[in-house]
């Protein structure tokens, strides 16, 4: 018990990655539009070593439908979107990555 640890060294090693206010605003805006249309029902935010994950669920008891990960140390880009094990998009700008969820317009004939 004679070892001394500097708190600053410990914090530097355990740097928690999280979503900032702007990123959370974008994620929750997209989420609320899809909840309103009845597509999505629940979400979760997880913090793992070196990453933060925003998971989207169709039903609460299921596995996530989509996972939006923030991984600053990744070579593929800071943000990634997964549908199960399949990577749908990756990039350095959250807005660009979230464009995967933009609805495509359909021509309806009367």
What pLDDT was estimated at residue 57?
A: 95
Question: In terms of residue numbers, what domain contains 92?
Answer: 16-101
Residue 42 lies in a domain: yes
Token duo for residue 5: 């640890």
What pLDDT was estimated at residue 36?
A: 94
Residue 110 lies in a domain: no
What pLDDT was estimated at residue 102?
A: 86
Residues of the chain with pLDDT under 50: none
Beta-carbon neighbour count of residue 28 at 10 Å?
14
Inter-residue contact 28 to 55 (CB < 8 Å): no
- In the block, which residue shows the tokens 């997964």? 82
Inter-residue contact 60 to 41 (CB < 8 Å): yes
Residue 109 lies in a domain: no
Number of domains within the chain: 1
Residue 58 lies in a domain: yes
Residue 63 lies in a domain: yes
Residue 60 lies in a domain: yes
Residue 49 lies in a domain: yes
In the sheet that holds 42-48, the strands lie side by side as 42-48, 51-57, 66-70, 79-83, 86-91
Residue 24 lies in a domain: yes
């Amino acid at each position: 018990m004679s070892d001394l640890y500097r708190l600053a060294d410990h914090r530097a090693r355990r740097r928690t990655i999280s979503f900032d206010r702007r990123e959370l605003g974008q994620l929750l805006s997209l989420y609320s539009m899809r909840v309103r249309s009845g597509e999505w029902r629940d979400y979760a935010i997880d913090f793992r070593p070196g990453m933060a994950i925003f998971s989207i669920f169709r039903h609460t008891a299921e596995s996530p439908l989509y996972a939006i990960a923030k991984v600053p140390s990744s070579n593929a880009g800071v943000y990634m979107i997964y549908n199960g094990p399949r990577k749908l998009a990756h990039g350095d700008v959250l807005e660009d990555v979230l464009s995967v969820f933009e609805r495509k317009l359909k021509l309806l004939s009367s």
